Structure 1
Amino acid sequence: MLEGLPPNDATHVMRVAAPRTTAMRISDLISESFDPADVTVAIFEQAEDDWLVEVFAGDAFDAERLRELVGFAAGEELAAAVTFSAVEEKDWVAASLEGLAPVKVGPFMVHGAHDRCRVPASAIGIEIEAALAFGTGHHGTTQGCLAAIADIARIGRPQRVLDVGTGTGVLAIAATRRFHTQVVASDIDIVAVRTAKVNARANKAGAGMTLLHAAGADARNITAGGPYDLILANILLPPLKRLARPLRALLAPGGRIVLSGLLVSHVPAALAAYRSQGLHLVSRRHIEGWATLVLAADR
C-alpha cells in the first residue's frame, strides 16, 4: 500500500475540492469501489474546511465512473467540478522526503537517514526512507499502530507476531525491536516486500523477521507460523473485513489484533465484521481522523 504516493503505474489523477465531511464521503466511496492495489485515494487539508481529494490510478482509471461516484457521494455540482489530468513525471520518493521530520511515538522514533543523528539513545530508532510502499511513520494509521505496540508491551511480551500488509515493514521492525521475538510479515505487493527486506536489514531486524509475498492471511507459510499472540493489520476497510475470519483463526488464546487503515467513520463496519468472529474491542485511538483498534477474543 501507499502513504501519500501514487501507485507504481499511475498515469492519471482525479482531483476535487470539498468540505471535510464531503471529502471524506467521496474518499470512502471511491476507496471501497476499487482494488487498493490499483487505485490510491488521498485527502489533504488546504485551508479551514477546504479539503482536496486526489485519486491516482493507471490502467484502472475510469474517469466516467469516478465522476459518477463523486456525484453519488456529493451531488452533481461537485461532480461537474472534478478535474482529470495526466500524472506528472516526478521523483515521488525524493519529493516525499522533503520536510519529513522524525516521528516520536512512545519508545519509537521513525526517521529518515537524514535525521539519524537526531535519535536519542533512549529511543528505539527505526530508519525508514519514503518509498513505494506504505509506512513512513507520518500517517495517523502508522502512528496509531506504533502506539498500540507500545501499549501491548507494557502488559506482556508476545512470542509470535504477524504483520499483514507490512508495506515498508515499519510495524514489523518495531515489534521485532520491542519484543525481541520472531515476526512474520507479509504483503500482496512484491515491491513492498522488497522494500521491507531492505529496511529490516538497515534496522538490524532482518534476523528476526520472515518476509513473505502473499495475498491474504491463509497462505500456508503464514498459517504454519501460527497461532499468533499479536496480529497487526494496517490496510483498508474492505480487505480488513475480508480478513476477519482468517485472522481470528490465527489468533492465539489471550492474543490481540491491531487494526488500522480506518477512517473514524469506518469503525462501526470494521467492528461488526470482527465481532461476528467472536472478538471484542479492547481499546481505540484516533489520530488525525484515522482510527486504530485493538481487539481480543471473547472469553
Structure 2
Amino acid sequence: MKKPASTGTTDPASPAWQMSFPCTRALCEQLQDEADMLFAGWPSPPALVASEPDETRPDDWLLDIIFPHKPDDATIAAVLARLPDGTATPYKLEPVPDADWLTQSQAGLEPITAGRFHVRNDGEDAAPPGFTDFLIPASRAFGTGQHETTRGCLDVLSRLGETGHRFGNIADIGTGTGLLAFAALSLWPRAHVLASDIDPVAVAVSAENAALNGVPLGGGAGEVQLVAAPGVDHDLIVGLAPYDLIVANILAGPLIELAPSLVAQLAGGGTLVIAGLLKTQADRVTAAYRAQGMLLMERADHGDWPTLRLRKRHRFGWRRPHHWRREDFGDAPGYGSW
C-alpha cells in the first residue's frame, strides 16, 4: 500500500482522524452515496466532507473522511479499493484537533432563496421582502439548507403551497436540522408536523433551531413534534399515520430500502416528496416507489440532484377514519391534494 502523501502529526490519542485524497466531483458524490454500505455496522460511522479547492477547476475535488478514531489498514484498504487508482492513490492520514469540524465546514456558506424561503446560517443576511426567513446555523447536525437537495425540496413545497394544495398531517423523515419541517409548517400553519431523524443529535439541533426561528414544538395542530427513530420504525410515527404529506431528503439507498414502509404510512392520494438521490439513481428510485403504487407527478433537477414528487394511488395501503374539518384543510384533507 502506498504511504500517505503526508501523515502530519502522529498522535494516537487524538479523538478523530482524517483521511484526505483528491478525486473527481463524480467520484466524491459516489463515495458519499455509498458511505452507508462502506461503513455498515460501525457504531460511529465516519463523516464524508467534499470540497472544491479551486473553483476554476470544477471537476477537481477533495474528499475528507473523518473517522472517530484512527482507521486500521483494512479500513484504509476498503476505501482505496473504491478509487480508480486503488492503492496507488496518494492520500493524507492525520489526527484532527478536538474541534467541531462540521460547524467549521459549514461556516460562511452563502444564504439561499428557494421558492418562498430564504435560508441563512448567520444573523446578518436579512431576507428579501416577501420571503419566509429561516436561520439555520452551522451545527453538529448535517444540513444547513444550502445543499441542492434541500433547495429542491423547498422549491417543491413552495409550489404545492402556491397551487392550493392543503395538508393536515405531515412527516419529515430524516429531518437533519428541522428546516423542511419548519418550512412545511409555515406553508400549512394548522397542520400537525412530525420530524424524525435517526441521529439524536440532529433531533436536539432541530429543537435548538426551532427555538431560534420561533417554531412551536409539541404534538398538536400548528406544532412540530420531534422524535429520534430509524426510518419510520417508531410507535409514534406509525401511530400518527397515515400522513397526507411525507418529505424524505436522505440518500438513494435508504430511500429504496424504505419504499414499502414509507408508502405504508401515506394516505391514499397522499403526496411524497423525496430527495438525496443523484440523476443516475433517479430511475431506480422511481421504480421502487412505482412498485408500491406511487405515481410520479413531478421531477425537478437542481444540478445533479433531482427532487421527486409522487402521489399514492388510492387502492394501495390501508385507510383509517379521518375527522378533519373541510373548511380547515380543503376538499380532500388527509387523502392527498390532487
TM-score by length of 2: 0.77
Q: Which moved more, 1:166-175 or 1:234-243?
A: 234-243
Q: Which moved more, 1:253-262 or 1:169-178?
A: 253-262
**Number of equivalenced pairs:** 289
Q: Secondary structure at the match of 1:129?
A: coil
- In structure 2, C-alpha distance between the alignment counterparts of 1:94 and 1:38, rounded to whole Å: 18
Deviations 1:82-115 (A, max 9, x none): 3322223334365345422321111101123422
Question: Quick one: which amino acid aligns to residue 152 of structure 1?
Answer: L
Could you say if the C-alpha distance between residues 279 and 263 of structure 1 is closer, same or farther in structure 2, counting changes exceeding 3 Å?
same
Could you say if the C-alpha distance between residues 115 and 101 of structure 1 is closer, same or farther in structure 2, counting changes exceeding 3 Å?
farther
Question: Quick one: which amino acid aligns to residue 25 of structure 2?
Answer: R
- Show the counterpart of 1:5: none
- CA RMSD in angstroms comes to 2.5
* Contact persistence 2:46–2:67 (CA under 8 A): yes
Which structure shows the bigger proportion of residues in helix conformation?
1
- Show the counterpart of 2:330: none
Residue 115 of structure 2 corresponds to residue 145 of structure 1: no
- In structure 2, C-alpha distance between the alignment counterparts of 1:120 and 1:48, rounded to whole Å: 30
Residue 213 of structure 2 corresponds to residue 203 of structure 1: yes
What are structure 2's unaligned runs of at least 5 residues? 1-13, 218-222, 315-338
Question: Quick one: which amino acid aligns to residue 194 of structure 1?
Answer: A
Q: Which moved more, 1:287-296 or 1:92-101?
A: 92-101
User: Cα offset for 1:61?
Assistant: 4.1
Residue 216 of structure 1, aligned match among 224, 231, 239: 231
Residue 170 of structure 2 corresponds to residue 161 of structure 1: yes
* Contact persistence 1:29–1:69 (CA under 8 A): no
Q: Secondary structure at the match of 2:262?
A: helix
Question: Quick one: which amino acid aligns to residue 181 of structure 2?
Answer: A
- In structure 2, C-alpha distance between the alignment counterparts of 1:192 and 1:26, rounded to whole Å: 22
TM-score by length of 1: 0.86
Could you say if the C-alpha distance between residues 280 and 61 of structure 1 is closer, same or farther in structure 2, counting changes exceeding 3 Å?
farther
Residue 287 of structure 1, aligned match among 293, 302, 318: 302
Could you say if the C-alpha distance between residues 195 and 68 of structure 1 is closer, same or farther in structure 2, counting changes exceeding 3 Å?
closer
What are structure 1's unaligned runs of at least 5 residues? 1-8
- In structure 2, C-alpha distance between the alignment counterparts of 1:87 and 1:244, rounded to whole Å: 38
- Show the counterpart of 1:125: 133
User: Cα offset for 1:232?
Assistant: 0.8
Q: Which moved more, 1:277-286 or 1:159-168?
A: 277-286
Could you say if the C-alpha distance between residues 122 and 66 of structure 1 is closer, same or farther in structure 2, counting changes exceeding 3 Å?
same
- Show the counterpart of 1:6: none
- Show the counterpart of 1:40: 47
Q: Secondary structure at the match of 2:287?
A: helix
User: Cα offset for 1:63?
Assistant: 4.7
* Contact persistence 1:26–1:70 (CA under 8 A): no
Could you say if the C-alpha distance between residues 31 and 144 of structure 1 is closer, same or farther in structure 2, counting changes exceeding 3 Å?
same
Could you say if the C-alpha distance between residues 222 and 29 of structure 1 is closer, same or farther in structure 2, counting changes exceeding 3 Å?
closer
Residue 171 of structure 1, aligned match among 171, 175, 180: 180
* Contact persistence 2:118–2:131 (CA under 8 A): yes
- Show the counterpart of 2:104: 95
User: Cα offset for 1:204?
Assistant: 2.1
User: Which has more radius of gyration?
Assistant: 2
